[in-house]
Structure 1
Amino acid sequence: MEDNELVQLARQGDGGAIRTLYQRHARRVFAVVRRLAGDDALAEDWAQEAWVRVIRALPAFRGDSQFSTWLHRVAVNSALHGRRSRERKAGRETLIDDSHEGRGGAGDPLLKMKLERAMERLPEGMRRVLVLHDVEGYTHEEIGEMLGINAGTCKSQLFKARAKMRAMLSPVPERMEEVQACNT
């Protein structure tokens, strides 16, 4: 059954249709939100919030775009809203660092771990722009609109984020060459 048929049934209160939509799209929603959250526990909360928003907003979904596109946008917006809310609360709360290992997946697990750690070390603004542009494929103008910044600021943040990622992932730190030169 196609998504648009499931959406129609879900609008009528069909729990099976909602469950099928969830099963079909939950992994992608979590992946998008996880990249923006930088933390599994936050991502789970924000993904759940995205699904609550989607289910509540189904009657208003006009179908101008594919359901998956609309869902992706709701998930990104939920994560950005969660991030802003968390930042507002950070001034009033002391956060406890509870590191979580990333979920297993295809590819080199060591490389994946290094990438996730490097991403987590990026400043928030740089991470958001890097994920939205390089991972999710948004344009600088779209990112600027989502984050409330100029497209030029977005480009600058992306340039800096890529440079920091290269430096953090470099097998030999740039200063190592200087140290070696001093020892000879």
Structure 2
Amino acid sequence: MLFKAIHLQGIQSGKITLAFRRWEKASVKSGSLLHTAVGLVEICKVKTVSENEITDKDALEAGFRDKQQLLESFTHNTTATIFKITVRYHSADPRIKLSAQTDLSAQHFADLKTKLARLDNHSRQGHWTRKILLAIKDNPNLHALGIAKLTGFEKEWLKLNIRKLKNLGLTISHRVGYELSPLGNSFVEKLSTEK
């Protein structure tokens, strides 16, 4: 579930407490946490509604001027169900604190190696994690297409899987491109000293 930057700012400030989506089926669940540009957003409640049940007050709480503007924001799929989603700002993104670590204990290093091996072993692409980490290390701020050309991986697949590395605190995403986090640099450095 994606949010526009202006809506994320409203959620973070507490001004926006609702979101509306027109989907074939719900793609979020009550109680789940979404990683966003402003931190974690909690999905508090999800219910289906009809257009007639949406009020101007609901639209304001979702960050729109009025009900009409909200309805115009929906995709053109008029047969899909409308979901009314109660949201709230939960906390800062824990990956930021994780990625800022530079002191990598032997246990943490071993845990990261195990997690990366699991990603490699469950991928149809084979062993990709080390290749991608090294490509990002050697080409900081290079965009996904550039990394795809360097590594031979498909761009959309690459973006999805770099996100998995980010979830482990190893990479940082910028508006354009990626770089290794302090933790990622420590991990790659320690990896390179292994025999």
TM-score bracket relative to the smaller structure: under 0.3
Greater relative contact order: 1 or 2 (C-alpha under 8 angstroms, separation 6 or more)? 2
Question: Normalising by the residue count of structure 2, what TM-score does the alignment of the two structures yield?
Answer: 0.26
Select the structure that is richer in strand. 2
